[in-house]
Structure 1
Amino acid sequence: MSGAATPKGAKRRQALVASAAELLLEGGFDAVRHRAVAARAGLPLASTTYYFDSLDDLIACAVELNGNADMDAVRARVAAVTQRRRGPESTVDLLVEVLLGEDEKRPESRERLIARYERFVACARHPALREVQLRLRAQLDEALTEALARSGRTSSEGQLRRLVAMVDGAMISALGEYDPDPRGLARGMLLESIDVMAPPA
């Protein structure tokens, strides 16, 4: 790992992580293999084992890169939220927008959402990914708390997690079944409980 401490080594390591992250988005965890990552990065096959302790180590770095990109987008959406009291419907629309971003009917948006939910499942099998997911989840909770505060609402940690679980459950079901209106499904579920789980302050 000493080579990674040099500028050249750091650049190569970063290229491998970026390539693995792209493969994750395109084909899921099965697409991330030493040979495929090295080829995508334009580096020798041996570089994947030189700069990373294992394939799981490389995958964890790639998952974190994609997760950080997702969180950057979430924070940008929250930063654009105006400070005003919102009713149930506009609060639900806001939460769906903050959590899901662009229309998932666009191929690149759909692939990013699929990769996000694959990451959730993978955490059950890969301990290294759990640490990444816990960090990302804490950041998401913080961003959503801010979005709700800007809407004149509050939510406990437990209730906030239930809100997110509702959206996640709706999206996993809709993506798997090719539901034509997954956001509508998520909105309907949230509308039934938003005033309980995130009441006006």
Structure 2
Amino acid sequence: MATGHTDPQRRERIITATLDLIAEEGIAGVSHRKIAARAGVPLGSMTYHFSGIEELFREAFTRFADHIVAVFDAHLASPTDRDQAREAVTDLVHVLSEGSRRDLVLTQELYTLAARQPPYRQLTQEWMRRSRIHLEKHFDPDTARQLDALIEGLTLHRALSPEPHDRALTREAITRITTTGEPNQ
């Protein structure tokens, strides 16, 4: 196997393996040894690329947050008016709630860490700030903040429900939040 110097994908494999294991076993079940085995790298390369498991967890969750922000961007970059933006947010809720269980679990693991540890709280605050930037392209800052929370809640409720609510309910909730205080058009 190539050394850390000649294997440019090694660091990325370690991060991906970390996220996969957190999604499967929870953060408490993850160790350097398990990550190295999953990534197919020597255990020693873990300390070559990361000073410790906490640095690795923060890097992995930062990468995960970047992924979710990219999903927001993909949905919210093209709408040209409020109605299209509402439809895009509706799509976003349904894509997130019907998508990867891995993403859902990783989001909840990150939130649990953020509730206990300030560095992860900072990471989630930055993630929320970046998500709201996309929403603020279409809605005022207060509405974007409310909508961001609604997206998270609707996504979680849809993902965990044995009978998820339909698209019409999602759209109605988004419309209610985004028309409050809106001038008559």
In 1, distance between residues paired with 2:101 and 2:175?
24
SS in 2 for 1:123: helix
When residues 55 and 140 of structure 1 are mapped into structure 2, their CA distance, relative to the original with a 3 A threshold, is same
Name the aligned partner's letter for residue 155 of structure 1.
D
* Long gaps (5+) in structure 2: none
In 2, distance between residues paired with 1:105 and 1:185?
15
Write out per-residue CA displacement over residues 36-63 of structure 1, whole angstroms, 9 at most, x where no aligned residue.
2101111122332343232221111111
8 Å contact 1:166–1:186 — kept in the other structure? no
2:63 to 54, 59, 65: 65
In 2, distance between residues paired with 1:200 and 1:62?
45
SS in 2 for 1:44: coil
In 1, distance between residues paired with 2:35 and 2:131?
29
Q: Residue 118 in 1 paired to residue 118 in 2?
A: no
8 Å contact 2:33–2:43 — kept in the other structure? yes
Name the aligned partner's letter for residue 58 of structure 2.
A
2:11 to 13, 19, 23: 13
Matched with 1:3 is none
When residues 58 and 85 of structure 1 are mapped into structure 2, their CA distance, relative to the original with a 3 A threshold, is closer
Q: Residue 48 in 1 paired to residue 46 in 2?
A: yes
SS in 1 for 2:21: helix
Matched with 1:78 is 76
Aligned residues: 182
Matched with 1:142 is 133
Name the aligned partner's letter for residue 173 of structure 2.
M
Matched with 2:162 is 178
When residues 65 and 197 of structure 1 are mapped into structure 2, their CA distance, relative to the original with a 3 A threshold, is farther
Name the aligned partner's letter for residue 161 of structure 1.
R
Name the aligned partner's letter for residue 170 of structure 1.
L
8 Å contact 1:167–1:186 — kept in the other structure? no
8 Å contact 1:57–1:128 — kept in the other structure? no
Q: Residue 193 in 1 paired to residue 177 in 2?
A: yes
In 2, distance between residues paired with 1:169 and 1:96?
13
Deviation at 1:121, TM superposition (A): 2.7
Name the aligned partner's letter for residue 97 of structure 1.
D
8 Å contact 2:75–2:89 — kept in the other structure? no
1:94 to 88, 99, 118: 88
Name the aligned partner's letter for residue 51 of structure 2.
D
Matched with 1:132 is 123
Q: Residue 104 in 1 paired to residue 97 in 2?
A: yes
Q: CA RMSD in A?
A: 3.0
